[in-house]
Structure 1
Amino acid sequence: MTARTRIVRRLLTSGLVLAALPAPLLAQEKAGPPAPPPPAANTTAPFGEIVVTATRQDQLLSKVPVSVSAFNQKALDLKGAKSLAAVARFTPGIQVDNGSNEIAIRGISSNAGAGTTGIYIDDTPIQIRNLGFDSDDTLPAIFDLDRVEVLRGPQGTLFGAGSEGGTVRYITPQPGLQDYTSYTRAELSSTAHGGASWEFGSAVGGPIVEDKLGFRISAYHRRDSGWIDHTDYDGNILKKNTNYSDVTVLRGAITWQPVDGLQITPSVHYQKRLTADDDSYVEGQSDPGKGVFHESSPEYRRNPDKFVLPVLKIDYKNDAFEVVSNTSYFKRSNISGYDGTVYDLSYYQTLTLDPSGEDPATPPTLLLPRGINPDVSYYLSPSVVTNRQRIFTQEVRIQSVDPTAPITWVAGVFYQKQRQLSREELVDPHGNQLFEQLFGMSLEDYFGQAAGADGPIPLYDGRDSYINQSISHEKQIAVFADVTWHITPKLSVTGGGRYEKVSYNFTNFADGPQNYGRTEAQGGTSSKPFTPKANISWQATQDNLFYGTYARGFRPGGANAPVPYDACSDDFDNLGITGAPSSYKSDKVDSFEIGTKDKFFDRKLSIEASAFTIQWKGIQQFVNLPTCAIRYIDNLGQARARGFDLQMTANPIPGITVDMALGYTDSRYTKTAQYVTPTSILAVKGDSLGGSPWTASIGVQYDFPAFGEKGFARVDYQYSSPSKRTKEMDPLTANYDPGVVASDAQHFVGLRAGGIIGGFNVSVFVDNLLDSSPLLDRSHQGVDTLLYTDTTWRPRTVGLTASYRM
């Protein structure tokens, strides 16, 4: 090794000057034998065809008889996708709620109970169970990823509980034992009606001891500017652009190969995200068409979200089989909240006082279209919602390694133990002053006292008007297997199943005047589900694959915290029940799908299409009690989802690449969900489960020579149709709210153009070119409340991106 080589190797290992080194110099320093050639690629894909692990084994995307979309980091950069919501715009069959992070795949989504979509970082599931309010899944940042995989349809056999609708997987790059690789990205942009955003991140990896020890480290930070201003009731701006956000990601991994075939890889993934305020704005003060977005609540709803994920992966592979062990511990802390001030005022303005028994006194309207009634003295009652996850996961798989064998297989065992805390507080330090103004008495005197073992206990402690805390423990043990018999070189059948034992228990307490005193409870449930899968595939030619699949998915049941009868008796009477159920059962889906993956015209046209029908039974869903504003979970109703998804990539002429995605999902109730009384209808047969039935995207890229280098220009267009009537919009249901309306049709246009010089890629871009502001969601607290808040897209954003890849 020359002196120059030793110096460069040292610099590469430190990772300090990697981004500054010229590509020719780096190319001279690769050591070891060349990597084996990749599998035959699809020439229509801009970066070659992606190898995915949707079946837990490496396969070309076009050869997997599963409906799956995958994007590598290059494709994500080209499309400007830095969040799962952006990925969803290019992916048929998936929709993401920007406010709650709720993911719907093929119409299967519920914010009650356990998750309906599996979310994985590599082989570790990280989705959350909804124990209370704002139990939102974390959003891993998209930087230094090998790829993102979206698996449509239930994935209960290989990915277990919570993958009813499908699974989203974030796959990270592994340390290199032979070659050095690096990736650096920087960006600067400006949002109309808002401020400046920026990001910088860098990753480097390679051998420390060739073929024996390798590493990969990365660091990334992004700041997204705000574009919503906080105002007073009259519209005077108090603080601009309050809904900014920051995210920091650090990751490190080391691979040790003590002997050929055995790799031991410990890694740590850390992410810290802070959203300074949410993206809702007051309808009565705002004018989205003119770029006016105002929020008049006195609250600033900060949302810090932090997780750390240490993992130990052990992979042993020989000529006969491969064994993979994945041990992980996911630790997350998230503090969020809704607008507690508006919530309290919407409740308090429904109260009455009748000192004489003849002349009840009611408070004035506290919430007006522009904000809080200015005649009310200053009032602030923020909500603080704390969610903590602690998840230990151990999975061991053994699988075949020869893809040409007559039988290929994967089998494994899975163990998970998780602890979750959910605490909801309404911090109400101004409650006494407000009630003195409204009723001439303190909040403490209004709600009175509760009986205690040592005498009367005040319902209000001067701080919290409501607190509800649940701590749950959940344990899953499962065995699974997936076996494929290649009957002929073209015809294959697959059978699989997963048997699981799930146990769940919780403890809960609630207190405060809005809970009518303290309640305590504990409970639990258990289930032993079996999720089968069957698949048949026919590789008619090298370029034409047809398949059909039956699969079942499930999510485990749970238990409810007690709902106070005194506070909610009127609601229970309307529903014809004596109280909320103490537990709810698991629900399940049965899916039937047919699909095809084809290439035509000398592989200049690639098409992937599938059609599906899904039956969903015993749906876990929230029952909202409008009078006492408390909710619980029950198994109510049946639904089905039908539709198709289509993806296409084409090279019609040299230099032009066209990629398109089209999805249609019709998801609706097939049976009216209700209790015994006519007033207890919660959903009517035919009501939509939500979301846009039609989604479409098309991107056109032109690659051309420019000054001896490569230039490109790209335009992307995405469309989502208006949502259909949901149960909240149906006047026949108990929770009908005339203020809830369908979302608008959405038209999103993005442009990007730049040049590629060696490993450098520099481009300018415009997101939301039309500066569109469609209504995504409209909400208010209480059916009679006049104060509405809306959400929409980030306004037009113009920026510059520079990246370097080796």
Structure 2
Amino acid sequence: MRRKADLLLVTALVIASAAPAQAADRQAISIAPGRLGEAAITLGRQTGVSIGMSDQSLAGLATGRVDGTLSVDAALKRLLKGTGATARRIDAATWRIERARRRPSTATRPRPVPVAPAPDQPPAEIIVTASKRDTPLPRYAGMVEALDNRAFTSGEAANGTATLLARIASLSSTHAGNGRNKLFIRAIADSGVAGPTQATTGQYLGDMRLNYAAPDPDLKLYDVGRVEVLEGPQGTLYGAGSLGGIIRIMPNAPNLGQFGGQVSAGLSAIQHGDPGGDLSATLNLPIVAEKLALRLVGYGVQEGGYIDDVYRGKDDVNRVRTWGGRAALRFAPDEDWTIDLNGVYQHIDGDDAQYATRSVGRLERASAVSQPYFSDYLLGNVRIERQWDSLRFISSTGLVRNELAESYDATQPDGAPALFRQNNKVNIFSTENRLVRDLDNGLGWILGASYLQSTSEIHRSLTSFGTANVQPEVIPGVPVYGMGLAAAATGVRNEVREATLFGEASFEPVKGLIATVGGRLTNSRLSGEALDPVAALSSADLARAEAQADRNETIFLPSASLLTDAIPDITLYAKFQQGFRPGGLAVDDQRVRRYQNDRISTVELGFRKGVPGRDAIALSANVAYTDWRDIQADVTDRIGLPTTANIGDGRIYTVEGRIVVRPTPALTLDGSFIYNDSRLSQPAQFLRALSYEGQSLSLPNVANLGGRLAFDYRAPLANDLDLHLSGAARYVGKSRLGVGPILGQTQGDYVDTSLTASVTRGPVQYSLSLTNLLDSNGNRFSLGTPFDLRSDYYTPLRPRTVRIGMDFAF
């Protein structure tokens, strides 16, 4: 797979522990097809020389196989043939790869080269960059899913997080709507209701955190070079909120030496629904050759609706529109410095809620009011990298502003139409500075410090559209004005300030055994207050709750792992890791209450054989045990409003495996499964009071069983045509919406399918895709409106959808 330029070393310097060879010495060399960055590392290891690069963009160039008894000079010439790069000898043990100087010519114009690599380029060695130490996959202790740009068509990029859910068996989600969903890895799930608690899955764009006390922003995956998913707690390297794991999205970095771009467009038709479409454009513009470049991405997506509201007589009410873009400016003043300025903006508009009611009819419901929502997301980031041989310094600082406005039907039986609105504004400032030493083959260390400040403000209101002089009460203590006038309900503001020191080191005490130890020390300053409190709340109660929320917490998260690759082509590992989330304030039955922090500990054993995409057969498997204390969960209070509480202690057993087979170079078969056994072993008192005394409850929202089967076929055709076929089927097992009898509705137990075909000729690609081939009506999510938890609501799979698309690269 491709190792992306923005996460490679500015100087891909490889210092071998053996004595360096002379350039003229002939040695046995074997380098697999792949990318120049990984090939240079491999050549350096095999020959003992140091190989540097003048430009990060060179590292992404495709290279062919090099085999034989060769000198370093001859090997480099073979490796660089046709790449537009050349090698210059610095001294007896040091080489530098540079972009070849172009001779000016007015006779012919060079053929445009696409921004992204051609689809038939071979995969390279997988490097786990989310480890923050560029660890080769065979020497990474843990389960990881790595998807490069070969995995995403433009249609899949338009689907955002849904594409990741379709490809990764261990990843699951709620389905309240784009920009409203909570993501879960393995069975580390708290609930399906969106409240003030922090996410259990950390999400990152490069080195920048995407969210904190907010759902998945669902950024579209246009011009993304790579996505990595690390499973299990990642507290040492990523801190609070990475209980289940992390998702790291790495966009393509600006190319300093090459102008190019891409335009894509698609039209889709939904059975039983409205048509949709998507449009995107990418432009890479070198401003100063090899020094300064700008990369721009813009897109717009409309997803057609397919839910009919029979009460209001409206069809296809759940239409969603998304538009946004990214801008990245890269400045490389010399070979040792790289400075990146990144900006992201995305806006999502949902016309109505995504759920239906089974008793009303397939893809139908009866609501008294529309339930629109929107998500507004803005991110800015500065990243600076400095290289000294095998030592790197990385500094990443940025701001996030995320606003999510939701609405729920609050109409009571025989009452006037009413709408409950919740607006969550999250502001994040974060900075991380780390020093990394990458040694040979996964060894090295990292030492860093970070600071994060997150503020979340949740405002709530109730609007009744009745016309009677006296309106029945919907929420205790909240007036009902009628005539479409809004009345404020109690909200909450939480602020977290975290200062952290962290470190991790890997060493090889004996040959073939790698030990890794690490730790993270975090001091959190927490504060909270009620917003727009109702008159029924006394000032004494408010003062008491706010005093409890204003506190300091210091926590240490250790980690350790052992890995051996002493058996050829097989990796065995054992790992211990922890994670946590800080506490805060929540509104419960119109009262302000404090919830405590929770903490998770995981022990896992695993093995890995081969590398997917490189070897004929690649296998991986993992068994994990998780202990989760004082679980924070977003639940509903007795009124139906979202709130947060500690629901007790739990434990989780997880077994998962994957096999990737390449029977021919053109065909790849991929199968994976995950089994979860989760229990709330010690429920909190308020749950035991709900007739569950002495019983063990399942944790919510994650299926006990899941699996995926997929194929990928790529082959050249006649007349300079390339064919790509892919298909997948994913099974999502049964789960429950929440904990307790009120939220005990089942969901899941369905199969989702997809099929894609594309033909590429030169810079043009035509594609045809089909999703939900069987037109399944499976239930993805059982929550409709929290003001009615007893109706048979369900969130159906998007009906059978066909999309035709065209991409043009220049």
Asked if TM exceeds 0.5, the reply is yes
Choose which of 751, 758, 764 in structure 2 pairs with 1:754.
Answer: 758
- Paired with 1:189 and 1:725, the residues of 2 have a C-alpha distance of 31
Aligned-pair CA distance for 1:114:
1.9
Structure 1 gap ranges (5+): 1-27, 38-42, 130-134, 288-292, 350-365, 367-375, 451-457, 566-579, 729-735
- Paired with 2:498 and 2:782, the residues of 1 have a C-alpha distance of 38
Q: SS state of the match for residue 169, structure 2?
A: coil
Aligned-pair CA distance for 1:783:
9.7
Which residue matches 2:9?
none
- Check the 8 A contact 1:740/1:778 in 2, yes or no: no
Q: Partner amino acid for 2:695?
A: V
Q: SS state of the match for residue 405, structure 2?
A: strand
- Paired with 2:573 and 2:789, the residues of 1 have a C-alpha distance of 52
Which residue matches 1:215?
294
Q: SS state of the match for residue 237, structure 2?
A: helix
Are residues 1:526 and 2:530 paired?
no
Aligned-pair CA distance for 1:787:
4.4
Aligned-pair CA distance for 1:156:
0.3
Counterparts in 2 of 1:600 and 1:171: CA distance versus 1, 3 Å: closer
Deviation digits for residues 776-797 of structure 1, max 9, x if unmatched? Answer: 3334668987744321110000
Are residues 1:543 and 2:569 paired?
yes
Aligned-pair CA distance for 1:605:
0.8
Counterparts in 2 of 1:192 and 1:583: CA distance versus 1, 3 Å: same
- Paired with 2:475 and 2:498, the residues of 1 have a C-alpha distance of 43
Q: SS state of the match for residue 259, structure 1?
A: coil
Q: SS state of the match for residue 170, structure 1?
A: strand
Aligned-pair CA distance for 1:417:
1.1
- Check the 8 A contact 1:460/1:512 in 2, yes or no: no
Which residue matches 2:311?
232
Are residues 1:424 and 2:424 paired?
no
Q: SS state of the match for residue 338, structure 1?
A: strand
Which residue matches 1:611?
623
- Paired with 2:409 and 2:351, the residues of 1 have a C-alpha distance of 14
- Check the 8 A contact 2:385/2:392 in 1, yes or no: yes
- Paired with 1:412 and 1:540, the residues of 2 have a C-alpha distance of 31
Are residues 1:773 and 2:777 paired?
yes
In the TM superposition, what are the counterparts of 1:699-778 in structure 2 within 5 Å? 699-708=710-719, 709-723=721-735, 727-728=739-740, 736-737=741-742, 740-778=744-782
- Paired with 2:780 and 2:439, the residues of 1 have a C-alpha distance of 49
- Paired with 2:269 and 2:140, the residues of 1 have a C-alpha distance of 41
- Check the 8 A contact 1:460/1:513 in 2, yes or no: no
Which residue matches 1:476?
498
Aligned-pair CA distance for 1:689:
3.3
In the TM superposition, what are the counterparts of 1:244-283 in structure 2 within 5 Å? 244-283=319-358
Which residue matches 1:241?
316
Which residue matches 1:657?
668
- Paired with 1:45 and 1:663, the residues of 2 have a C-alpha distance of 31
- Check the 8 A contact 2:459/2:489 in 1, yes or no: yes
Choose which of 581, 587, 592 in structure 2 pairs with 1:555.
Answer: 581
Question: TM-score, normalization: structure 1?
Answer: 0.78
In the TM superposition, what are the counterparts of 1:433-448 in structure 2 within 5 Å? 433=468, 441=470, 443=472
- Paired with 2:305 and 2:475, the residues of 1 have a C-alpha distance of 40
Are residues 1:493 and 2:509 paired?
no
Q: Partner amino acid for 2:288?
A: V
- Sequence identity (%): 22
- Paired with 1:257 and 1:796, the residues of 2 have a C-alpha distance of 47
Deviation digits for residues 728-781 of structure 1, max 9, x if unmatched? Answer: 3xxxxxxx23x8432242111211122222343322111000000112333466
Counterparts in 2 of 1:242 and 1:631: CA distance versus 1, 3 Å: closer
Which residue matches 1:570?
none
**More moved, 760-769 vs 174-183:** 174-183
Are residues 1:315 and 2:385 paired?
yes
Are residues 1:330 and 2:367 paired?
no
In the TM superposition, what are the counterparts of 1:163-174 in structure 2 within 5 Å? 163-174=242-253
Counterparts in 2 of 1:488 and 1:206: CA distance versus 1, 3 Å: farther
- Paired with 2:759 and 2:229, the residues of 1 have a C-alpha distance of 29
Aligned-pair CA distance for 1:222:
1.0
Choose which of 124, 132, 136 in structure 2 pairs with 1:56.
Answer: 132
In the TM superposition, what are the counterparts of 1:82-97 in structure 2 within 5 Å? 82-97=159-174
Which residue matches 1:689?
700
Which residue matches 2:3?
none
Aligned-pair CA distance for 1:701:
2.9
Aligned-pair CA distance for 1:711:
1.8
Q: Partner amino acid for 2:182?
A: E
Counterparts in 2 of 1:677 and 1:230: CA distance versus 1, 3 Å: closer
Aligned-pair CA distance for 1:176:
1.6
In the TM superposition, what are the counterparts of 1:168-183 in structure 2 within 5 Å? 168-183=247-262
- Paired with 2:320 and 2:800, the residues of 1 have a C-alpha distance of 17
Aligned-pair CA distance for 1:805:
4.8
Question: TM-score, normalization: structure 2?
Answer: 0.78
Q: SS state of the match for residue 146, structure 1?
A: strand
Q: Partner amino acid for 1:425?
A: S
- Check the 8 A contact 2:640/2:787 in 1, yes or no: no
Aligned-pair CA distance for 1:95:
0.7
Choose which of 300, 320, 332 in structure 1 pairs with 2:370.
Answer: 300
In the TM superposition, what are the counterparts of 1:58-77 in structure 2 within 5 Å? 58-77=134-153
- Check the 8 A contact 1:157/1:531 in 2, yes or no: yes
Q: SS state of the match for residue 54, structure 1?
A: helix
- Paired with 1:562 and 1:420, the residues of 2 have a C-alpha distance of 17
Q: SS state of the match for residue 418, structure 2?
A: coil
Counterparts in 2 of 1:128 and 1:514: CA distance versus 1, 3 Å: farther
Which residue matches 1:286?
361
Are residues 1:384 and 2:384 paired?
no
Which residue matches 1:137?
216
- Paired with 1:250 and 1:157, the residues of 2 have a C-alpha distance of 32
- Paired with 1:206 and 1:615, the residues of 2 have a C-alpha distance of 50
**More moved, 410-419 vs 458-467:** 458-467
Which residue matches 1:23?
none
- Paired with 1:684 and 1:97, the residues of 2 have a C-alpha distance of 26
Counterparts in 2 of 1:116 and 1:787: CA distance versus 1, 3 Å: closer
- Paired with 2:458 and 2:238, the residues of 1 have a C-alpha distance of 25
Counterparts in 2 of 1:217 and 1:717: CA distance versus 1, 3 Å: same
Q: SS state of the match for residue 130, structure 2?
A: coil
Which residue matches 1:397?
434
Are residues 1:186 and 2:190 paired?
no
Counterparts in 2 of 1:687 and 1:787: CA distance versus 1, 3 Å: closer
Which residue matches 1:110?
190
Aligned-pair CA distance for 1:681:
4.6
- Check the 8 A contact 2:642/2:786 in 1, yes or no: no
Q: SS state of the match for residue 721, structure 1?
A: strand
- Paired with 2:611 and 2:431, the residues of 1 have a C-alpha distance of 43
Q: Partner amino acid for 1:54?
A: A
Choose which of 774, 777, 793 in structure 2 pairs with 1:789.
Answer: 793
Deviation digits for residues 110-133 of structure 1, max 9, x if unmatched? Answer: 24622211111211223232xxxx
Which residue matches 2:15?
none
Deviation digits for residues 44-99 of structure 1, max 9, x if unmatched? Answer: 99744443312112234344222110112221229936222331232132211121
Deviation digits for residues 19-64 of structure 1, max 9, x if unmatched? Answer: xxxxxxxxx9997658969xxxxx9997444433121122343442
- Paired with 2:649 and 2:471, the residues of 1 have a C-alpha distance of 47
Counterparts in 2 of 1:86 and 1:776: CA distance versus 1, 3 Å: same
Structure 2 gap ranges (5+): 1-80, 88-95, 99-118
Q: CA RMSD in A?
A: 3.4
- Paired with 1:302 and 1:598, the residues of 2 have a C-alpha distance of 48
Deviation digits for residues 559-586 of structure 1, max 9, x if unmatched? Answer: 3347557xxxxxxxxxxxxxx7x42221
- Paired with 1:230 and 1:689, the residues of 2 have a C-alpha distance of 29
Which residue matches 1:3?
none
Q: Partner amino acid for 2:393?
A: V
Aligned-pair CA distance for 1:724:
6.0
Size of the alignment, in residue pairs?
A: 686
- Paired with 2:713 and 2:789, the residues of 1 have a C-alpha distance of 52
